[in-house]
Amino acid sequence: MQPQDRSAATARLVVEPLDLNYSLRDKVYDALKQAIMAMNLYATREELRLDERQLSADLGVSRTPIREAISRLEQEGFVRVVQRRGVFVVRKSKREILEMITVWGALEGMAARLVTQHASDEEIAQLRRMFATFENDQLRAHIDEYSETNIRFHQKLLQLSRNELINQIASNLFAHMRSIRLKTIGEKDRAERSIIDHMNIIEALERRNTELAEKLARQHTLNLAEHVQNNVQYLD
């Protein structure tokens, strides 16, 4: 730093380590996943093909990282690659959706169980605070915010379980569920029912009632499965 002092101590710049491990493949993956999730898949019925060469031109990279990204998306169930035919965006069947919700229910129940065993009172209190806005008769006024809070509640519950694997699997399921517009949630009576369920779950967590919390969390999700089963027609 000071050239006249040849024996200067080496200066220590405070710098963040650069994020390597973030290759073209990952960028392409993010871009494609986001694009797929944004495309409101279930509004149409035609086959949606991804053209490797087109994407290569559009994104300005070669086919290689694109193929690697596609291969990952295939693994996660977002696209299907058919030899010499093309890459197609996957539409989940109603059955597959129901299976996903069922697995979600199993994970959420287990997460609730773990929360009663491992989370602090303060952490559980965070869950309750999320619903302060909707207490009493406030729900009607904030119904539009509720959907977001609903999602955050479930994510927080999973997170408090401190089981990374549960979170990882659930977040993949969630990505699929999200791309289906489960507008059904928005119905007012279901929102009220949903809030009651959540409050009951929170209460069971606060009381550290492991069996009850697990059962309520699981059942809450299985109720959604039943509702989808009975009321969703726009899947095949």
Q: How far is the CB of 85 from a second copy (least distance, A)?
A: 10
Query: Choosing among a second copy, DNA, none, which partner's interface includes residue 175 (Cβ < 5 to 8 Å by kind)?
Result: none
Q: Looking at beta carbons only, is 1 or 20 nearer to a second copy?
A: 20
Interaction between residue 9 and DNA (CB under 7 A): no
Q: Which residues, 84 to 143, sit near DNA by CB under 7 A?
A: 84-87
Q: Looking at beta carbons only, is 27 or 94 nearer to DNA?
A: 27
Q: How far is the CB of 206 from a second copy (least distance, A)?
A: 22
Q: Looking at beta carbons only, is 177 or 195 nearer to a second copy?
A: 177
Interaction between residue 32 and DNA (CB under 7 A): no
Q: Which residues, 87 to 126, sit near a second copy by CB under 8 A?
A: 96, 99-100, 102-103, 105-107, 109-110, 114
DSSP for the chain reads --TT-TTPPPP----PPP--S--HHHHHHHHHHHHHHTS-GGG--S--EE-HHHHHHHHTS-HHHHHHHHHHHHHTTSEEEETTTEEEEPPPPHHHHHHHHHHHHHHHHHHHHHHHHH--HHHHHHHHHTTGGGTTTTGGGGHHHHHHHHHHHHHHHHHHTT-HHHHHHHHHHHHHHHHS--GGGGSHHHHHHHHHHHHHHHHHHHTT-HHHHHHHHHHHHHHHHHHHHHH--S--
Q: Which residues bind DNA (CB under 7 A)?
A: 10, 20, 23-25, 49-53, 61-65, 67-68, 81-87
Binding site residues, a second copy, CB under 8 A: 20-21, 23, 67-68, 71-72, 75-76, 82-83, 96, 99-100, 102-103, 105-107, 109-110, 114, 163-166, 169, 218
